[in-house]
Structure 1
Amino acid sequence: MNKLVAKEQFELGVCYYPEHWPESMWADDYRRMVEMGFTIIRMGEFAWSIFEPQEGNFQFGLFDRAIDLAHSYGLKVVLGTPTATPPAWLTEKYPEVLNVTYEGVTLQHGMRRHYNYSSPKYHQLCAEIAGQLADHYGNHPGVVGWQIDNELNCEISEFYSESDHTAFRKWLQHKYESLDKLNEAWGAVFWNQSYSDWSQVYLPRPTPSPKQPNPHQALDEKRFISDNTIAFAKIQADIIRAKAPQQWVTTNGLFGHLDSHELNDQLLDFFSYDSYPQFSSIYYDAAEVNPLRDRGWGLSLSAVRSISPNFCIMEQQSGPGGWVNRMDMPSPKPGQMRLWTYQSIAHGADMVLYFRWRTATMGNEIYWHGINDYHNQPNRRVREAAQIGQELVASGQAIVGTVTQAKVAIVRDYDNEWDGEYDVWHGPFMWQSNKEWFKALQHKHIPNDVLYLRSKTTLEELTRYEVLIYPHPAILADETAALLDAYVLQGGKLIFGCRTGYKDKRGQCYMRPFPGAAQSLCGITVEEFTMVKGTRLPTFISWADEPELLTGADSFNEILQVVEDSVEVMGSYASDYYAGKPAVTRNQRGKGEVWYYGAVFNEDAAVQIINHLGLQSPAAAWLELPTDVELQIRESDSSSYTFLLNYSKEPMAILLKEEKRDLLTDQLIVGTHTLEGFGVLVLY
């Protein structure tokens, strides 16, 4: 059971590091937190050498005092296991716990996440510190939950120590049982890579072409890293479950080479996420057309919601962000911190903790600004956090446990994500198409989920949605195609993009006409194809019902050939030597339909398909919104809340055709209403 759903209040709080501040400051800090409406704090995740200054010498005095005092002020405590930063005494005495790079360089003490997940010694030491903490705090009335480690696979998500090579070999032996099956799965006959003894098998290692391993080996490497990460976290989760059964367990992600869905299913009460919308200013592509910027962070929150429909934000951005040498994010403008908080809540968060209470005065994060500045004097961010706190004290209980609603899902899967890191013939396309579809749906005010297809995904899970968008699943097993076909036959609408269906689970190409496992669903084959780059000029598609309308056919073009009478050509190429050839098709299949788009999606193309599908905002009957305002809906059996989020600094006019009440202000609203710049409404 997701223990957030059962909560009776919305928890708002902050990350706090008592070891960073004089003890004389703690009481004043806690008092001000409570006055701001905060109810929960996180601590301890980087404090191993305080809990265990020498091996086997456990000291709890500092955190006993910090937790006892927090409890006396009515603050709940989330305690982190400190295994993300093994102390210097540990790495000096047991260097085998350190991580090693692909090139063979051992990563040393001095930052964080400098360990590997495979070392038996590190397993032992982590079990010991987790057990000691759980013994000591498992019945503490102030401790309500645990965060395992911190940001698994952040900073680095590849591991090449001797322990990792050994663990990978054992993982492969379990998966394939024999070298013959391994050689077949890896296509080892190519370039004479066949193995005759298990001792010859390693994780990818440097080759004559830099970082260019066997692609099937590289895919299995990512699967191994995920399983190995979960096994590492399980050591701590099992101990805490046994010793602290009344306290919940979570951890914070979302990072690479980790099946976070499986992690959550196996180990956690709910998933947690660290939300920093202005990371978008770092990763923003200056060439992108009509960018969403921080609004686009909702796509990541949608992915988190697919793991845990009601989740925790363990770190919510509260100020300008940056380490000494990277991530130089600007300060939130007035109202943006509040906007981002409600962005997280609108997408499913039932608990939010800001990072951090006060900006660190030392270390790499001296510019990762918290709510309070170094001087600890009142500032705009403190006032804004207090406003949010007071709003959620009054209204948060109504929101907790409601679930975000959507009839459209963008479909992903881990195999294609991991394979696509190496395979440039499909990997980059997924991220572009996801972003462009999200953008189109956002501007149409159509909420969407992200749905990860897994071996345990059921038809019932798919039929929650009217439309599934699965842009470029190069790896598509026959059983997955059959599940998608069942979804379509009962009435679902399924949308594919180019590079669909031509690989099996091993990452090997089918000896079938494209789109491989999806051919019968789509009713087409691919006559030929090309990358659109280099000597290839940008190409365009003309839509059958609007021939004069041209939209870009981005990055990759597949020239389609209709093979079933049930297929209708919805768009044709309008340029290059294949002008006039089919580019977009729709196959009526059973009660549903399957679209195939022979390029990488852009917003214009997505809008065309949305219009053909007749998709509308769920609030279209009573609400008119400008494109700058996001709409999200959270519902329970008895209530429905419509979140409106203005991502513009300018006021926006909205039109309500029915009278609604704003949950945050208790104001009745009808007719034309001005939503302030970076403003928020929660209507019911």
Structure 2
Amino acid sequence: MATKGQDWRTEQFRLGVCYYPEQWPENLWEDDYRRMKELGLSVVRVAEFAWSIFEPEEGRFEFDLFDRAIDLAHQYGLLVIMSTPTATPPAWLTAKYPEVLNAKQDGTVYQHGQRRHFNYNAPIYHELCARVVTQLAEHYKNHPAVVGWQIDNELNCEVNTFYSKADHTAFRVWLQEKYGSLDALNQAWGAVFWNQTYSDWSQVHLTRPTPTNSPNPHQALDEKRFFSDSAIFFAKLQSDILREKAPNHWVTTNGMFGHLDSHQMMDESLDVFAYDSYPNFSTILPDKGDRPLLDRKWSLNLSAARDVSPNFIIMEQQAGPGGWVNRIEMPSPKPGQMRLWTYQSIAHGADMVLYFRWRTATKGTEIYWHGLNDYHNRPNRRLEEAARVGEELNRIGAQLLGTTYQADVAILKDYDNEWDGELDVWHGPLTGRSISGWFKALQRHHIPTDTKYMRSSTTLAELAKYRLLIYPHPAIMPTSTAALLSKYVEGGGTLVLGCRSGYKDATGQCYMQPFPGPLAELCGIEVEDFTLVGPFQQLPDISWQTGAVLQGDAFVDILHVTSDNAEILASYASDYYAGKPALVRNKYGMGNAYYYGSAFTEEAAGALIAELGLVSPAAKWAELPEDVELAIRVQEGTDKRYAILMNYGHEERMITFLTPKRDMLTDTDLHGLVMMKAFDVYVIEI
């Protein structure tokens, strides 16, 4: 097997597009490729949904159509990212081997007709996928245009739960390998409760419908770990073949979806991670609370992709309004927004960007998911914007390649709490609203922020590079993670925790000790009482030492100080817990741990930003308005630093440049009062 780690980068910044030659008359191809080059595009992704083109019937392979398409792309100097077409098994396959189909929790089998209707665990599907991937890799391994491979397409998109017969069978094997015995399984799942104890492995299944629609929570957590491992196995099955058969190509996959540990998949199978960026989802799924960030919130998603792969590929960048015939109704990007979103991706670590798609489909479910070209294939403003971006990146893109996003603050997440919180409403819903509150506050204070996933492999050095870590509501808190966080704080770091922290172990069972469990000593507090804020109850008022009175949110942990080094910074000012501590800072070693007894609003996060003395890295050279995002990319080992300013406002905004700067995109001087146009972008060497 070839070694992992083929270099995916090239000498220039690659701007490209997703292309479907099988969907268009061949007499359009040459004109398409010619116009791509004129726009400054230099890479195309192909074939992710083309299994029946390559294998029209079982065991018979044909490559003529894509050979012609890829040869012609090469004539026009375009690089090609090939895809394995396993996201859409052909009709002949699902008809002959119905055991490959996925099923709902109640056993209802999904049928052929859309995409992602298969399961990851049917042995015959492993065999058939391995065969088509092998055939493709052997056929295209030496093609001069092909540089890399995308495995499948958007693993766990559309559906991220799997309940076929093959999945139940594979789950038992997975559990036997994990626990070794039924006694250990029964202990981990707390099966003594409600008489769920298993006496034979044949009795064990994935969760199934229950009278209250509430499965065993420990079983449900293991189930999601199993779903993730199944997807990772499926990806590795393909990447191993690609590395052996096409060792000179790099391997990626796209998307970051539920019930999938993307970090583990990256470690085991990929050379680079790819993300699909559609900021206008924010128009139908806005962040909760006042003053939603809308398309700017996509920067939070991009920061999560960046944690998987510090520099990454955007395999699908939104290039128009999005929508299927029956759902996902997005408005068109306004003039300038597509360019803004492209630089948003670049600002957060993308070193290659491909627009989705070249031309809007005239058939099928995605006829309203628009590409650069409309159906008529005539000039439009989106093509003009793409051409502008192509020209700009042709001039300055190489300077940004390999630079990495710089942040002194990180929001911590982990898969176990994410998955456990889907079922557990006493902590799960709090995380999203608190992360939203923090991200809004940090964005509007122009403080660049990372997302950092806590994993069993996370080291102290990875955490120590951050001045501040924010871990809103980690209910599951293994003692090893608590020890690592204690070392981080002891060494001089600052940690902020919210309510419902530290009371569960890795199985999801509760510690028999005062909250916040293994974090109690670090935080210098115990939770003496707690309550969910009910739907007919008022949110608590919290009085801060600064004199401000802010409202808590959703939950109340009533704190009791246990450390002589702890200081009460805010107290509850309403209800039966009035006067009790709500925010405590504990000096621990050379650092500080903060415990806040509620969920974080933007206002509470802003108050903590002031308490912590955080200031924007742009403060010495510019005064930035709220609507402008600041990102900084740095060339390690050099003094090269680039600030990227992005105006998400729908009107122009005023920036005061305290020292002279120059916009690299337009070669324009920036000094004093400058009016930044709506959706405009500045790239500045600082």
Output the TM-score relative to the length of structure 1: 0.99
1:540: Cα distance to partner?
1.2
Question: What's the counterpart of residue 663 of structure 1?
Answer: 664
Deviation per CA, 1:285-329, whole angstroms, max 9, x where unpaired?
Answer: 5x6211101101100000000000000000000000000010100
1:2: Cα distance to partner?
6.4
Deviation per CA, 1:597-650, whole angstroms, max 9, x where unpaired?
Answer: 000000000011110110010111111100000000001033111000000121
Maintained 8 Å contact 2:8/2:250: no
What are the residue-to-residue correspondences of 1:194-213 with 2, within 5 Å? 194-210=197-213, 212-213=214-215
Question: What's the counterpart of residue 610 of structure 2?
Answer: 611
Q: Find the aligned partners of 1:153 and 1:165 in 2 and give their Cα distance.
A: 18
Maintained 8 Å contact 2:6/2:248: no
Maintained 8 Å contact 1:134/1:243: yes
Secondary structure, counterpart of 1:653 in structure 2:
strand
> Aligned AA for 1:586?
R
> Aligned AA for 1:475?
I
Deviation per CA, 1:477-504, whole angstroms, max 9, x where unpaired?
Answer: 1110000000000100000000000000
Q: Find the aligned partners of 1:265 and 1:659 in 2 and give their Cα distance.
A: 43
Question: What's the counterpart of residue 153 of structure 1?
Answer: 156
Q: Find the aligned partners of 2:117 and 2:257 in 1 and give their Cα distance.
A: 16
Q: Pick from 170, 173, 177 the counterpart of residue 176 of structure 2.
A: 173
Question: What's the counterpart of residue 627 of structure 1?
Answer: 626
> Aligned AA for 2:89?
P
1:141: Cα distance to partner?
0.5
1:667: Cα distance to partner?
2.0
Q: Find the aligned partners of 2:539 and 2:435 in 1 and give their Cα distance.
A: 20
What are the residue-to-residue correspondences of 1:15-414 with 2, within 5 Å? 15-210=18-213, 212-284=214-286, 288-414=289-415
Maintained 8 Å contact 1:488/1:593: yes
Secondary structure, counterpart of 1:27 in structure 2:
helix
Deviation per CA, 1:90-146, whole angstroms, max 9, x where unpaired?
Answer: 000000000011011110100000100000000000000000000000111111100
Q: Find the aligned partners of 1:332 and 1:6 in 2 and give their Cα distance.
A: 29
Maintained 8 Å contact 1:5/1:401: no
> Aligned AA for 1:173?
Q
> Aligned AA for 1:203?
L
- Say if 1:265 and 1:621 are closer, same or farther in 2 by CA, change over 3 A: same
Question: What's the counterpart of residue 540 of structure 2?
Answer: 539
> Aligned AA for 1:383?
E
Secondary structure, counterpart of 2:586 in structure 1:
strand
Maintained 8 Å contact 2:8/2:271: no
Secondary structure, counterpart of 2:279 in structure 1:
coil
Deviation per CA, 1:72-107, whole angstroms, max 9, x where unpaired?
Answer: 000001111000000000000000000011011110
Q: Find the aligned partners of 2:147 and 2:581 in 1 and give their Cα distance.
A: 59
Question: What's the counterpart of residue 575 of structure 1?
Answer: 574
Maintained 8 Å contact 1:556/1:599: yes
1:666: Cα distance to partner?
2.0
Q: How many residues align?
A: 680
Q: Find the aligned partners of 1:241 and 1:660 in 2 and give their Cα distance.
A: 46
Q: Find the aligned partners of 2:315 and 2:648 in 1 and give their Cα distance.
A: 23
1:5: Cα distance to partner?
7.4
> Aligned AA for 1:251?
T
2:582 counterpart of 1:586: no
> Aligned AA for 2:46?
M
Deviation per CA, 1:551-594, whole angstroms, max 9, x where unpaired?
Answer: 11100001101011111001001111111110000001110000
Question: What's the counterpart of residue 598 of structure 1?
Answer: 597
Q: Find the aligned partners of 2:527 and 2:270 in 1 and give their Cα distance.
A: 44
Q: Find the aligned partners of 1:159 and 1:290 in 2 and give their Cα distance.
A: 37
1:550: Cα distance to partner?
1.3
> Aligned AA for 2:56?
P
1:6: Cα distance to partner?
4.7
- Say if 1:256 and 1:397 are closer, same or farther in 2 by CA, change over 3 A: same
Question: What's the counterpart of residue 502 of structure 1?
Answer: 503
Q: Find the aligned partners of 2:576 and 2:503 in 1 and give their Cα distance.
A: 24
Maintained 8 Å contact 2:7/2:250: no
1:536: Cα distance to partner?
2.0
Question: Which stretches in structure 1 are left out of the alignment for 5+ residues?
Answer: none
Q: Find the aligned partners of 1:532 and 1:2 in 2 and give their Cα distance.
A: 50
Q: Find the aligned partners of 2:39 and 2:396 in 1 and give their Cα distance.
A: 15
2:655 counterpart of 1:654: yes
Deviation per CA, 1:182-204, whole angstroms, max 9, x where unpaired?
Answer: 00000000000000011111100
Q: Find the aligned partners of 1:492 and 1:519 in 2 and give their Cα distance.
A: 17
What are the residue-to-residue correspondences of 1:463-502 with 2, within 5 Å? 463-502=464-503
Q: Find the aligned partners of 1:229 and 1:16 in 2 and give their Cα distance.
A: 26
Deviation per CA, 1:40-78, whole angstroms, max 9, x where unpaired?
Answer: 000100000000000010000000000000010000011
1:535: Cα distance to partner?
3.4
Q: Find the aligned partners of 1:248 and 1:435 in 2 and give their Cα distance.
A: 35
> Aligned AA for 2:138?
D
Maintained 8 Å contact 2:14/2:352: yes
Q: Find the aligned partners of 1:134 and 1:88 in 2 and give their Cα distance.
A: 23
> Aligned AA for 2:164?
S
Deviation per CA, 1:135-167, whole angstroms, max 9, x where unpaired?
Answer: 000111111100000000000000011110111
1:4: Cα distance to partner?
6.2
Maintained 8 Å contact 1:502/1:514: yes
Q: Find the aligned partners of 2:270 and 2:507 in 1 and give their Cα distance.
A: 29
Q: Find the aligned partners of 1:472 and 1:282 in 2 and give their Cα distance.
A: 26
Maintained 8 Å contact 1:272/1:312: yes
Output the TM-score relative to the length of structure 2: 0.98
1:3: Cα distance to partner?
5.6
Divergent runs of 4+, >4 A? 1-6
Question: Which stretches in structure 2 are left out of the alignment for 5+ residues?
Answer: none
Maintained 8 Å contact 2:540/2:574: yes
1:545: Cα distance to partner?
2.5
Q: Find the aligned partners of 1:536 and 1:276 in 2 and give their Cα distance.
A: 37
State the identity as a percent.
Answer: 63
Q: Find the aligned partners of 2:9 and 2:374 in 1 and give their Cα distance.
A: 35
Maintained 8 Å contact 1:5/1:400: no
Deviation per CA, 1:205-245, whole angstroms, max 9, x where unpaired?
Answer: 111222x2100000000001111110011111000000111
1:253: Cα distance to partner?
1.4
- Say if 1:605 and 1:455 are closer, same or farther in 2 by CA, change over 3 A: same
Secondary structure, counterpart of 2:296 in structure 1:
helix
1:432: Cα distance to partner?
0.8
> Aligned AA for 1:94?
Y
